[in-house]
Amino acid sequence: MKRFFVVFLIISAIYTSSAQYTEVINSKRPGFSESPYSIGTDVFQFETGLFYKSSSNEYLTAYPNTYGGELFFRYGKFLEKLELDVKITYQSDEVKNPFGPNYRIGGLSELTIGGKYLIYEQKYTDKSKEIRSWKRKMAFDKKRLIPSVGVYVGVNTNFLGNDYKEDNLSFKAAVLLQNDFTDRLVLLTNIIADKISSQNNYYSYILTMTYAINQNWSFFVENQGVFKSTDAPKFHFGTGAAYLFSEDLQIDASIRSIFFQNYSFAYSSLGVAWRLDKHQDKLVRDNSVNAKSGKSYRKKGNFFSRIFKPKNNIKKRRKKMKKARKKRKKRN
């Protein structure tokens, strides 16, 4: 009991500063949109899945049937608001051959390297502490209409399969918005310019509404519009669900189609997201000399020890706090 009381006091004397990190995995899947928030420092996250798409239009696409897989690697480092990522897509396409039977091509069709940064984070009023007025507690917070804002910048490399290579590399940029209307209902809005500086450049938007049914299940509905100078705009509509298997593992499935067109289009995917959590909160002790100077108790090391450093444990915190107390006594 005494030991428990000491541990409780130590934890109470320490506060953590972590704006982006979440206790459970924060995955981009199964939708196409992306949140402005990063996954947190020292977190390695892998989001992968298999997909299949088909189209009956003989004029707008030369590939009636496509299947493949994608890997989205996310890494948080240096800043809580910064995230680096790599997206790799491998696909196999059926090619229409007017002079004979159709044949298939395959290879890497996408290799994009980029990063995003949270510019503005909207803060909401904690109404759980409101006990004087039920009306105020249940009233809608108008600040929730103002979204958090992030930006994304990436490079579409040309390290692709021979059948998917382009003349040169191109760029990708996006504005990422997020509205948390409630603790369960979230709206993501992405405005994207892709393949900039190439002949195949296009613009698109993505609107995704996500609702958490409970602690394990959530579902989404999504609308995507793609605008190309050479083609008519395409509007995709999708839906799907995700299941939180554990704090670091998510399983998902989705389907989508296209409407208001005179041809059929279908897309389906199954995927999984997993993270290797090496996150370590920045620790500051209240009323300490280091707290006044804005510094934190953080162990330094070489490059690899900083990348793969373990989480803080209570024993290390106690030692650091004892050293700080001794220093203060000497100064006094």
Q: Please write the tens of the pLDDT for every residue from 3-32.
A: 433 333 333 333 333 457 788 898 989 999
Identity at 58, one-letter amino acid code? E
Task: Give the per-residue pLDDT at 61.
Answer: 54
- Per-residue pLDDT tens digits for 146-191: 999 999 999 999 999 998 988 889 999 999 999 999 889 999 999 9
At residue 295, the pLDDT reads 39
Find how far residue 17's CA is from the centre of its chain. Answer: 20
**In the structure, what pLDDT confidence band is assigned to residue 316 with cuts at 50, 70 and 90?**
low
User: Which candidate, 44, 67, 73, 68, places its Cα nearest to that of 55?
Assistant: 67
All structural domains of the chain, each given as residue ranges with its CATH number in brackets, are: 2-10+283-331 (no CATH), 19-280 (2.40.160.40)
Show the beta-strand stretches assigned E in 181-293: 185-196, 202-212, 217-228, 234-246, 249-258, 265-277, 282-285
For 250-286, what is each residue's pLDDT tens digit?
Answer: 999 999 998 766 777 899 999 999 999 887 776 544 4
Rounded Cα distance, 160 and 116, in Å: 23
Confidence band, pLDDT 50/70/90 cuts, at residue 304 = very low
Three-state DSSP state, 199: coil
Closest CA to 156 of 199, 202, 88, 110: 110
Q: For residue 220, give both structure tokens.
A: 């989404």
Q: How far apart are CA 153 and CA 246, in angstroms?
A: 31
Cβ–Cβ < 8 Å for 154, 131: no
Q: Which residue has tokens 């490399």?
A: 157
Buried b (16+ CB within 10 A) or exposed e, 126-147: eeeeeeeeeeeeeeeeeebeeb
For CA atoms 316, 322, 324, 330, give the dihedral sign: negative
Beta carbons within 8 Å of 293's beta carbon, 6+ residues apart? none
> What percent of the chain shows pLDDT beyond 90?
48
The reported pTM is 0.75
Lowest mean per-residue pLDDT among 78-82, 233-237, 246-250, 262-266: 262-266
The percent of residues in the chain predicted with pLDDT above 70, rounded, is: 73
85 phi/psi in degrees, rounded to 5: -150, 160
User: What is each CA distance from 319 to 6, 10, 308, in whole angstroms?
Assistant: 13, 11, 21
At 93-138, the pLDDT tens digits run 988 777 778 888 999 999 999 999 999 998 877 776 766 776 777 7
**Whole-angstrom distance, CA of residue 320 vs CA of residue 183:** 36
Burial class (CB in 10 A: 0-12, 13-18, 19+), 76: buried
Measure the CA–CA gap between 33 and 150, rounded to whole angstroms. 13
The burial of 159, by beta-carbon neighbours within 10 Å (0-12 exposed, 13-18 middle, 19 or more buried), is given as exposed
